Structure 1
Amino acid sequence: MTQTSKTDWERLAKMSDEEIDTSDIPELDAEFFRRAELRVPVKQAVTIRLDADVLEWFKGQGTGYQTRINQLLRQYMQAHQG
């Protein structure tokens, strides 16, 4: 199910930082950062066979091509879950 944002992104993009009301957002203090935890997804090395032109296209996009392939696979997975 796709949700449509009710945010007027075009109007927001035209606003300066000073015009955006952030008064309802609490300031992140030292205590927040002391308790914060970095969570990095577990990666698993695999061997996968891809068409040569597909792999070359991804590599041609620059560094991080494996990350981009992973992101696309994740989007596909999420789109097809329950």
Structure 2
Amino acid sequence: MSLDEMRKQKSQTDWERLRAAPDHEGEAEVEVDWASARLVEPEPKKLISLRIDADIVEFFRNQGKGYQTRMNAVLRAYKDAQEKAG
């Protein structure tokens, strides 16, 4: 199913059951020591000029907003696999 087809699907969520449910079900929440927490900011992206085949760009653009982020994720997965393979 394509992203566009998924967006057209009617919701099957049981909103009445969710509204009636308590705020939390299941195990108790985990205690977190926020005093020792630190903010980790992502590295900024590097702006480059890159020549990519038109059909590749179109494929990612057709999947909707965030296509450059998806392209970056594919490149990162390739890089990680190559590093792991040695």
Normalised by the shorter chain, which TM-score bucket? 0.5 to 0.7
The equivalent of 2:43 in structure 1 is 41
Provide structure 2 residue ranges, at least 5 long, that are not aligned to the other structure.
1-24
Aligned pairs, number? 60
Percentage identity across paired residues of the two chains: 37
Could you say which structure has the larger radius of gyration?
2
Q: Which amino acid aligns with 2:74?
A: L
> Which structure's relative contact order is higher, taking Cα pairs within 8 Å and 6+ residues apart?
2
Equivalent in 34, 46, 55 of residue 57 of structure 2 = 55
TM-score by length of 2: 0.59
Question: What SS class does the counterpart of residue 80 from structure 1 fall into?
Answer: helix
Output the aligned Cα RMSD.
2.1
